Amino acid sequence: MEVEPTSNPRLKLASRRQVLARFGAGGLLLLGTRCGLAQPQASPTLPGCIVRPEQIEGPFFIDETLDRSDIRSDPSTGVVKPGLPLRVSFRVSRIAERCEPLVDARVDLWQCDAAGAYSGVHDAFGSTAGQKFLRGYQLTDRNGRVTFTTIYPGWYRGRAVHLHFKIRTRESRTRGYEFTSQIYFDDAVTDRALGQPPYAARGRRDRYNEQDGLFLRGGRQLMLALNQSERGYEGTFDIGLRFA
Protein backbone atom coordinates (compact mmCIF):
# COMPACT_ATOMS: atom_id res chain seq x y z
CA MET A 1 0.00 0.00 0.00
CA GLU A 2 1.63 3.28 -1.13
CA VAL A 3 0.88 6.68 0.32
CA GLU A 4 0.72 9.67 -1.96
CA PRO A 5 2.28 12.97 -0.89
CA THR A 6 0.04 15.10 1.25
CA SER A 7 -0.04 18.71 2.34
CA ASN A 8 -0.36 17.58 5.95
CA PRO A 9 3.23 17.74 7.32
CA ARG A 10 2.25 15.58 10.28
CA LEU A 11 1.66 12.49 8.16
CA LYS A 12 4.61 10.22 7.50
CA LEU A 13 4.88 9.78 3.73
CA ALA A 14 6.55 6.36 3.57
CA SER A 15 4.30 3.46 2.60
CA ARG A 16 4.06 0.03 4.15
CA ARG A 17 5.60 -1.38 1.00
CA GLN A 18 8.52 1.07 1.17
CA VAL A 19 9.11 0.39 4.85
CA LEU A 20 9.12 -3.39 4.33
CA ALA A 21 11.33 -3.09 1.27
CA ARG A 22 13.82 -0.90 3.13
CA PHE A 23 14.28 -3.18 6.11
CA GLY A 24 13.44 -6.59 4.65
CA ALA A 25 11.03 -9.17 6.00
CA GLY A 26 13.74 -10.80 8.10
CA GLY A 27 15.92 -7.82 8.93
CA LEU A 28 13.84 -5.04 10.39
CA LEU A 29 15.72 -3.19 13.07
CA LEU A 30 14.70 -1.72 16.37
CA LEU A 31 15.27 1.99 16.73
CA GLY A 32 16.53 3.37 20.01
CA THR A 33 16.55 0.48 22.45
CA ARG A 34 17.89 2.91 25.00
CA CYS A 35 16.00 1.30 27.88
CA GLY A 36 17.45 -2.18 27.47
CA LEU A 37 15.60 -5.27 28.58
CA ALA A 38 16.42 -5.47 32.29
CA GLN A 39 13.57 -5.55 34.76
CA PRO A 40 14.34 -3.48 37.86
CA GLN A 41 12.75 -4.14 41.21
CA ALA A 42 9.11 -3.17 41.26
CA SER A 43 7.45 -0.65 43.51
CA PRO A 44 5.04 -2.29 46.00
CA THR A 45 2.21 -0.36 44.32
CA LEU A 46 2.83 -1.94 40.90
CA PRO A 47 2.96 -5.59 39.82
CA GLY A 48 5.98 -4.92 37.65
CA CYS A 49 8.03 -2.00 36.33
CA ILE A 50 8.89 -3.61 33.02
CA VAL A 51 11.41 -2.09 30.64
CA ARG A 52 10.54 -2.79 27.01
CA PRO A 53 12.27 -2.13 23.68
CA GLU A 54 11.34 0.67 21.33
CA GLN A 55 10.32 -0.11 17.76
CA ILE A 56 9.78 1.94 14.63
CA GLU A 57 6.85 4.33 14.44
CA GLY A 58 5.79 3.10 10.99
CA PRO A 59 4.43 5.21 8.15
CA PHE A 60 0.96 6.03 9.47
CA PHE A 61 1.33 8.03 12.67
CA ILE A 62 -0.67 11.26 12.56
CA ASP A 63 -0.40 13.62 15.49
CA GLU A 64 -4.13 14.21 15.88
CA THR A 65 -5.67 16.03 18.84
CA LEU A 66 -8.16 13.29 19.64
CA ASP A 67 -8.36 13.10 23.42
CA ARG A 68 -10.66 10.09 23.85
CA SER A 69 -10.78 6.65 25.43
CA ASP A 70 -13.01 4.99 22.81
CA ILE A 71 -11.18 5.21 19.48
CA ARG A 72 -13.47 2.99 17.40
CA SER A 73 -15.46 5.72 15.66
CA ASP A 74 -14.66 8.36 13.11
CA PRO A 75 -15.31 11.69 14.88
CA SER A 76 -16.66 13.41 11.76
CA THR A 77 -19.32 10.80 10.96
CA GLY A 78 -19.77 8.84 14.18
CA VAL A 79 -19.44 5.57 12.24
CA VAL A 80 -17.99 2.85 14.47
CA LYS A 81 -15.52 0.40 12.99
CA PRO A 82 -16.74 -3.21 13.30
CA GLY A 83 -14.65 -5.81 15.07
CA LEU A 84 -14.15 -7.72 18.30
CA PRO A 85 -14.09 -5.30 21.25
CA LEU A 86 -10.66 -4.86 22.80
CA ARG A 87 -9.81 -2.90 25.96
CA VAL A 88 -6.14 -2.01 26.31
CA SER A 89 -4.88 -0.47 29.55
CA PHE A 90 -1.42 1.05 29.82
CA ARG A 91 0.22 1.32 33.21
CA VAL A 92 3.21 3.62 32.74
CA SER A 93 6.00 4.04 35.28
CA ARG A 94 9.15 6.09 35.52
CA ILE A 95 12.30 4.35 36.69
CA ALA A 96 14.74 6.41 38.71
CA GLU A 97 15.86 5.37 42.18
CA ARG A 98 12.56 3.53 42.40
CA CYS A 99 9.62 2.66 40.19
CA GLU A 100 6.86 5.27 40.38
CA PRO A 101 3.74 5.97 38.29
CA LEU A 102 4.35 8.43 35.46
CA VAL A 103 1.57 10.97 35.84
CA ASP A 104 0.19 13.24 33.11
CA ALA A 105 2.04 11.55 30.26
CA ARG A 106 0.38 11.46 26.84
CA VAL A 107 -0.25 7.97 25.44
CA ASP A 108 -1.24 7.72 21.75
CA LEU A 109 -2.71 4.53 20.29
CA TRP A 110 -3.29 3.88 16.58
CA GLN A 111 -3.96 0.80 14.46
CA CYS A 112 -5.52 -0.64 11.31
CA ASP A 113 -9.14 -1.75 11.10
CA ALA A 114 -10.47 -5.26 10.47
CA ALA A 115 -9.71 -4.89 6.75
CA GLY A 116 -6.11 -3.81 7.36
CA ALA A 117 -6.64 -0.11 6.60
CA TYR A 118 -5.39 2.89 8.57
CA SER A 119 -7.29 6.16 8.68
CA GLY A 120 -5.94 9.31 7.04
CA VAL A 121 -4.31 7.46 4.10
CA HIS A 122 -4.69 7.94 0.33
CA ASP A 123 -3.07 5.45 -2.03
CA ALA A 124 -3.64 3.22 -5.04
CA PHE A 125 -5.78 0.81 -3.02
CA GLY A 126 -8.26 3.41 -1.82
CA SER A 127 -8.57 6.46 0.36
CA THR A 128 -9.33 7.08 4.02
CA ALA A 129 -8.11 10.67 3.77
CA GLY A 130 -9.82 12.92 6.27
CA GLN A 131 -10.95 10.03 8.44
CA LYS A 132 -9.66 9.52 11.99
CA PHE A 133 -10.95 6.14 13.11
CA LEU A 134 -8.86 3.99 15.45
CA ARG A 135 -6.70 6.87 16.66
CA GLY A 136 -6.64 8.70 19.95
CA TYR A 137 -4.68 9.71 23.00
CA GLN A 138 -5.13 10.09 26.75
CA LEU A 139 -3.15 11.47 29.69
CA THR A 140 -2.11 9.07 32.42
CA ASP A 141 -3.82 9.43 35.79
CA ARG A 142 -2.16 9.45 39.23
CA ASN A 143 -1.56 5.71 38.89
CA GLY A 144 0.10 6.14 35.50
CA ARG A 145 -2.85 4.45 33.84
CA VAL A 146 -4.96 4.99 30.71
CA THR A 147 -7.50 2.63 29.14
CA PHE A 148 -8.57 2.54 25.49
CA THR A 149 -11.62 0.85 24.00
CA THR A 150 -10.87 -0.31 20.47
CA ILE A 151 -11.21 -3.42 18.28
CA TYR A 152 -8.88 -6.34 17.72
CA PRO A 153 -6.64 -5.18 14.85
CA GLY A 154 -6.81 -6.79 11.43
CA TRP A 155 -3.86 -7.73 9.24
CA TYR A 156 -2.11 -6.45 6.15
CA ARG A 157 0.58 -7.98 4.00
CA GLY A 158 4.07 -8.26 5.39
CA ARG A 159 3.32 -7.69 9.09
CA ALA A 160 2.14 -9.66 12.09
CA VAL A 161 -0.98 -8.32 13.80
CA HIS A 162 -0.04 -5.38 16.03
CA LEU A 163 -0.92 -2.04 17.62
CA HIS A 164 1.18 1.13 17.66
CA PHE A 165 1.71 3.34 20.70
CA LYS A 166 3.68 6.42 21.67
CA ILE A 167 4.29 7.85 25.15
CA ARG A 168 5.31 11.48 25.61
CA THR A 169 5.92 13.58 28.67
CA ARG A 170 4.31 16.99 28.80
CA GLU A 171 6.61 19.59 27.33
CA SER A 172 8.12 22.09 29.74
CA ARG A 173 11.22 24.26 29.75
CA THR A 174 13.26 21.16 29.04
CA ARG A 175 12.89 18.89 26.05
CA GLY A 176 10.08 16.36 26.42
CA TYR A 177 10.70 12.61 26.43
CA GLU A 178 9.22 10.32 23.75
CA PHE A 179 8.98 6.53 23.56
CA THR A 180 7.48 4.71 20.56
CA SER A 181 6.84 1.01 20.09
CA GLN A 182 4.34 -1.67 19.09
CA ILE A 183 2.22 -4.32 20.81
CA TYR A 184 1.80 -7.92 19.66
CA PHE A 185 -0.59 -10.77 20.47
CA ASP A 186 -0.37 -14.51 20.91
CA ASP A 187 -0.85 -16.14 17.48
CA ALA A 188 -3.40 -18.64 18.78
CA VAL A 189 -5.57 -15.79 20.12
CA THR A 190 -5.19 -13.90 16.85
CA ASP A 191 -6.22 -16.96 14.83
CA ARG A 192 -9.41 -17.25 16.86
CA ALA A 193 -10.15 -13.56 16.45
CA LEU A 194 -9.48 -13.48 12.71
CA GLY A 195 -11.65 -16.55 12.20
CA GLN A 196 -14.72 -14.50 13.11
CA PRO A 197 -16.53 -11.82 11.13
CA PRO A 198 -15.68 -9.28 9.87
CA TYR A 199 -12.06 -10.49 9.80
CA ALA A 200 -12.70 -13.91 8.24
CA ALA A 201 -13.76 -12.39 4.91
CA ARG A 202 -10.13 -11.42 4.24
CA GLY A 203 -8.86 -14.98 4.31
CA ARG A 204 -5.66 -16.30 5.85
CA ARG A 205 -3.04 -13.76 6.93
CA ASP A 206 0.45 -14.00 5.46
CA ARG A 207 2.54 -13.26 8.60
CA TYR A 208 2.68 -14.84 12.02
CA ASN A 209 4.81 -13.41 14.81
CA GLU A 210 7.82 -15.62 14.14
CA GLN A 211 7.72 -14.66 10.44
CA ASP A 212 7.80 -10.93 11.14
CA GLY A 213 11.32 -9.49 11.14
CA LEU A 214 10.40 -6.67 13.47
CA PHE A 215 8.76 -9.02 15.96
CA LEU A 216 11.91 -11.15 16.01
CA ARG A 217 13.91 -8.15 17.21
CA GLY A 218 12.05 -7.31 20.37
CA GLY A 219 8.47 -8.44 19.90
CA ARG A 220 8.61 -11.11 22.57
CA GLN A 221 9.01 -8.33 25.14
CA LEU A 222 6.04 -6.48 23.65
CA MET A 223 3.35 -9.14 23.95
CA LEU A 224 0.00 -8.22 25.49
CA ALA A 225 -1.58 -11.02 27.52
CA LEU A 226 -5.34 -10.99 27.01
CA ASN A 227 -8.32 -12.13 29.02
CA GLN A 228 -11.49 -13.03 27.14
CA SER A 229 -14.96 -12.05 28.25
CA GLU A 230 -18.41 -12.10 26.69
CA ARG A 231 -17.70 -8.64 25.30
CA GLY A 232 -14.33 -9.41 23.74
CA TYR A 233 -10.75 -9.16 24.98
CA GLU A 234 -8.91 -7.03 27.52
CA GLY A 235 -5.36 -6.72 28.80
CA THR A 236 -2.98 -4.46 30.72
CA PHE A 237 0.40 -3.43 29.35
CA ASP A 238 2.92 -2.45 32.05
CA ILE A 239 5.90 -0.39 30.94
CA GLY A 240 8.70 1.36 32.79
CA LEU A 241 10.65 4.24 31.22
CA ARG A 242 14.09 5.64 32.06
CA PHE A 243 14.79 9.26 31.18
CA ALA A 244 16.50 12.31 32.65
Residue 82 has pLDDT above 70, yes or no: yes
pTM: 0.81
| For residues 38-50, average pLDDT | 51
Residue 41: which pLDDT band, with cuts at 50, 70 and 90? very low
Residue 134 near residue 111, CB atoms below 8 Å: yes
Sheet arrangement for strand 162-168: 135-139, 106-110, 162-168, 178-184
Is 193 a member of any domain?
yes
Average pLDDT over residues 208-212: 98
Q: Is residue 2 one of the residues assigned to a domain?
A: no
- ∠ CA 181-134-59, nearest 5°, is 45
Q: How many domains does the chain have?
A: 1
3-state secondary structure of 187: helix
Is the per-residue pLDDT at 16 higher than 50?
A: no
- pLDDT per residue as tens digits for the range 115-165: 999 999 887 668 999 999 999 999 999 999 999 999 999 999 999 999 999
Q: Output the domain CATH number for residue 154.
A: 2.60.130.10
Which amino acid belongs to residue 237? F
The answer to whether position 23 is within a domain reads yes
Cβ within 8 Å of residue 9, ≥6 positions away: none
The mean pLDDT of 213-217, rounded to a whole number, is 96
CB distance 62 to 118 below 8 Å: no
Asked if the structure places residue 10 within a domain, the reply is no
- Which residue, 143, 147, 72, is CA-closest to 113? 72
pLDDT surpassing 80 at residue 11: no
